[in-house]
Structure 1
Amino acid sequence: MADAEHENTAQLDASLMIEVAAGNQPSLAALYDRYASLMLALGLRIVGDRGAAEDLLHDVFVEVWQKAGDYDRSRGSVRAWLLLRMRSRALDRVRSAHRRRTEQLEEGAADRIEGKPADPSAAAERSLIRRALADLPDEQREVLELAYYEGLTTTEISEQVSVPVGTVKSRMNAARAKLRSVLSEPG
């Protein structure tokens, strides 16, 4: 029974995509009604800001309107196609923000080279964090990097490193505890 429901959903979604590609706005609205909350939750989890996630949701549905004809049912479900687009846009947003922060840090470094005073405590803290990460066991550092730098979920990390989800969670918790311990030490 669940397989039949899944197939019906897949057929309905594929039909809606065909109609959207033909310029049918009510079909786009139907897709929005079906998937917007799920897509918003994904975007929010990745970017961490509701306003930014809502902007991304809007951008993705504009893209769906423009590129619905690119959807290929043989490559996956409409749900997966929509979620992949949302994930990609959200990660792009995170990377873009990271690049801006890096540029700002580089500008700060240039200011210090030009003789403007630097904040020695910030440099010491960055150095401490780098050392603390380097001191983590490889498997703990790997799951933290996948979660925080790549934006992957514990399930996605589990699949990528071929260990159970529980193991991923244990490694993340152990790594966080070690980092907290090192970073909270005085001096």
Structure 2
Amino acid sequence: MTLSTTTDNRQQVRREAMDALTPEIVAYIEECAGDTYASSHLINILHKVQAHFGYLGREQMDAVAQLLQVPTAKVTGVATFYHFFRMEPRGRFPINICLGTACYVKGAERVGDRLCEELGIHFGETTRDGLFSLEGSRCLGTCGLAPVIMIEDQIYGNMTPDQVPALIEKYVLKAQQEEQDQNQ
């Protein structure tokens, strides 16, 4: 999408932004754009966009830049600077492995290696089928169960590399069951 940057063409910018964002997000950005320090709202805006879409796509970031009347590079710079923003869609089942001290000492690296091997992806990536994404965390707060994996807010403790295939299979079957239920 190429959005116009002239203020004379605000309605066209708004129409094009509506294709990339939701009406609620556009309204919020327009409200923020009226503020003297409009760009100070950028992080909150990006959080809203990511909360809705699951990530920050190029089209969405371009629309935010146009509505706020700031360079796209500024929006992209903020989005890529902070670790909590994602530029790619997450998998249906995000897998978060704790890499904190307790988990690391008890074998989290080996569990992570096995996850990468089984899924065919690296940390920060999503499987081709969109089912899984793999991320590392500094601490999930369950050190007594180290090493720990979290999938869909469910904690799996005392993980070993040998347990990884069965855990992945559990979620593959869950996705298949959900799809089957939707088709009935």
Q: TM-score, normalised by structure 2?
A: 0.28
Whose radius of gyration is greater, 1 or 2?
A: 1
Q: Which has the higher helix share?
A: 1
Q: TM-score, normalised by structure 1?
A: 0.28
Q: Which has the higher strand share?
A: 2
